[in-house]
Amino acid sequence: MRSIFCVAVLAALTLVSCGEELDDYSIDAPADLQQRIDSIAAAKSASGGDTTFIDITTKVVGAEDNSSAWWSAHSDYFKVPANKRLVLEFVNHGKAEAVWNNWVLATASDPFGAEDYFEYFILRSDGAGWSFGHDGFDPNLVVTDRPADDAEFISVMQGASVTLVVDHSPTGNLFVTSKSVGTDGTEIVMTYNQPIGSVEDITAFLVVDGSHFEMEEAYLLPSAVTVLEDYAPISIAVNGAPASVELGNENFWGNAVATVTFEDGSSEEVDSVDLTFSVIPDMTTIGNKTVVVAYSKSKLGEYSQAATGYYKLDVTNSIVSIAANNIDYYYFGTDDVAFKPKGFVVTATYSDNSTSVLDNADVDFVYPGTVSPSVGTQTVDISYVGSSTTFNTTSTVTFVEGTSQVGASNLSTSWWGAHSADFTVASGMSKTFQLYCYSTDANNWNAPATILRRVSDAAQEFGVVRIDNFGWGSGYGAATTSHDWDFGTLASNISGSYIEITVTNNGDDTADIRYDVTHANGETHFQQYTGITVDSADLSCALTVDNCYLVLVN
């Protein structure tokens, strides 16, 4: 009975390997054995997921004594559709006389002998190859780590397990990768790629040359080559271009940066050499000029319909001198402070006695990056490079010590990380903070916020309001707001601003808060909150910061 059982199992496994149906057969064996065999058969013969297995008809290609001459025996012909990747797994044998006595891959339009047959390329395991009937084989594109010594290569290939991949990408290119693993574990990897100009099905097959192969597996996978979708440019923005250029200076681009936005919403900086200046300003006359730039490459670098942008600049008279104002810088304590040129106004005088203010981005302020402040003045060297002359002047920074500070001088204090003292605001009275704010200038809210809360219990807040028309809290919902901000320029102008914050207890269980702001450039703005619900008999106020610091002067 044991012998009979073994014969039954052997017969069933033989049928599986031949890919025949098993439904009419039963096996007197453990309950799950039939299930295991059915599972193996299904995996071998059916398509599952992304893998499509291919039945192999010719299991051994070529005479097993390696007597088959060149082109005398072929493997099965494997069709490879576009966007598919053929994987062949086999064992290589050769008569070990020459490097070409191993596997050879042929890629063609059809099986050999078909009426319209032609070859894309022939590729040998040693990296040699050629094309007949189709131009394009390029030996420079073969990359292999095969041993330089032919005898060593021949030895590794005897009995080597080979995985050969032919990827017919949807771009019309063929990508070939082979990995041969010798019986001693030595690996040889080779890659090759060639455009074939076709997305029609191709045929791939193995050819002998004093060699033979034991075919093990053949299957199709999706192509590993991703086709990137391309997008045309739709707009271009120019930042950092000079606001003015002195007459005689032809460089209207300066240190400008062009940023292109594409159809998919992505953006990237592009080199000025890839721009076309479709309107070039006349730099020989004084006045306001317009520069129009165009960019005509897609996201993948292909030529496409152009996107255009523009910027303006002034061509001015020749500069004869520059002068700068002096500024005050407020600090408290001994912490180093970062030097910023905000507040400096550099004025140029021209040959016709006219004047204009230079953009600080075009001016060089020679000063340490950080300064240990102390009461008194320090000198700043200032220079401006004109069309042919560099102009120099000096200015002074007068350090003025305040009465207290909220937040770290290195601008590292995050939201709610530091607070001023609490100040009681009696019914019918006001409290005014006079201060200078130094900020990262990153966001509109990197500035002082004002807190209204009880004197008797600081944890009970009536409201918190920021400089930029935003607030919250139990009493904030009843408030009305007003302001004159340009939110597009608020953040970049906060640092160096003088700010007065006035908190008024109206005596009727409401309070008002007003910010009066003077930027370093002299612009003035306000932010008003009216009618915040509070307890007029129990009201205090305090300030907090968010990546800024405050120097209180009164």
pLDDT score at 249: 86
Same domain, 77 and 88: yes
Domain boundary among 300, 316, 332: 316
Same domain, 433 and 284: no
Q: Give domain status of residue 54, yes or no.
A: no
Q: Give domain status of residue 50, yes or no.
A: no
Q: Give domain status of residue 77, yes or no.
A: yes
pLDDT in tens, 313-370: 999 888 999 999 999 999 999 889 888 888 999 999 998 898 989 988 889 999 888 8
Q: How confident is the model at residue 5 (pLDDT cuts 50, 70, 90)?
A: very low
Same domain, 140 and 215: yes
Q: How big is the CA angle at 246 (ends 243 and 251), to the nearest 5 degrees?
A: 75
Query: Quick one: tokens of 132?
Result: 């007949």
Task: Please give the backbone phi and psi of residue 182, each rounded to the nearest 5 degrees, phi first.
Answer: -70, 170
Q: Give domain status of residue 324, yes or no.
A: yes
Same domain, 70 and 138: yes
Q: How confident is the model at residue 116 (pLDDT cuts 50, 70, 90)?
A: confident
Same domain, 245 and 305: yes
Mean pLDDT of 299-320: 90
pLDDT in tens, 384-422: 988 778 999 999 999 999 999 999 999 999 999 999 999
For residue 447, pLDDT over 60 is answered with yes
Mean pLDDT of 264-292: 92
Count of the separate structural domains present in the chain: 5
pLDDT score at 135: 66
Please give the Cα distance from 177 to 164 (Å, whole number).
Answer: 6
Task: Please give the backbone phi and psi of residue 18, each rounded to the nearest 5 degrees, phi first.
Answer: -85, -5
For residue 12, pLDDT over 50 is answered with no
Do 310 and 291 contact (CB within 8 A), yes or no?
A: yes
Q: How confident is the model at residue 50 (pLDDT cuts 50, 70, 90)?
A: confident
Q: Give domain status of residue 227, yes or no.
A: no
Q: Give domain status of residue 78, yes or no.
A: yes
pLDDT in tens, 500-548: 999 999 999 999 999 999 999 999 999 999 999 999 999 999 999 999 9
Query: Is 169 exposed, middle or buried (CB count within 10 Å of its CB: 0-12, 13-18, 19+)?
Result: buried
User: CATH number for the domain including 263?
Assistant: 2.60.40
pLDDT score at 43: 43
Same domain, 144 and 252: no
User: CATH number for the domain including 481?
Assistant: 2.60.120
For residue 202, pLDDT over 60 is answered with yes
Same domain, 84 and 29: no
Domain boundary among 335, 370, 401: 401
Same domain, 218 and 310: no
The enclosing H or E element of 6 equals: helix 2-17
In our burial notation (b when 16+ CB lie closer than 10 A, e otherwise), range 275-304 reads beeeeebebeebeebebebbbbbbbeeeeb
Please give the Cα distance from 432 to 554 (Å, whole number).
Answer: 8
Same domain, 298 and 353: no
Same domain, 270 and 123: no
| Domain ranges, residue 284 | 233-316
For residue 434, pLDDT over 90 is answered with yes
Same domain, 144 and 187: yes
3-class secondary structure per residue, 290-356: EEEEEEEECCCCCEEEEEEEEEEEEEECCEEEEEECCEEEEECCCCCEECCCCCCCEEEEECCCCEE
- Residue 294 has, within 13 A of its CA and on its CB side, a CA count of 10
Domain boundary among 316, 339, 369: 316
pLDDT score at 27: 34
Same domain, 26 and 72: no
Query: Quick one: tokens of 401?
Result: 């010590």
Q: Give domain status of residue 356, yes or no.
A: yes
Give the chain's end-to-end CA distance (angstroms, integer). Answer: 107
Do 125 and 103 contact (CB within 8 A), yes or no?
A: yes
Q: Give domain status of residue 384, yes or no.
A: yes
For residue 478, pLDDT over 90 is answered with yes
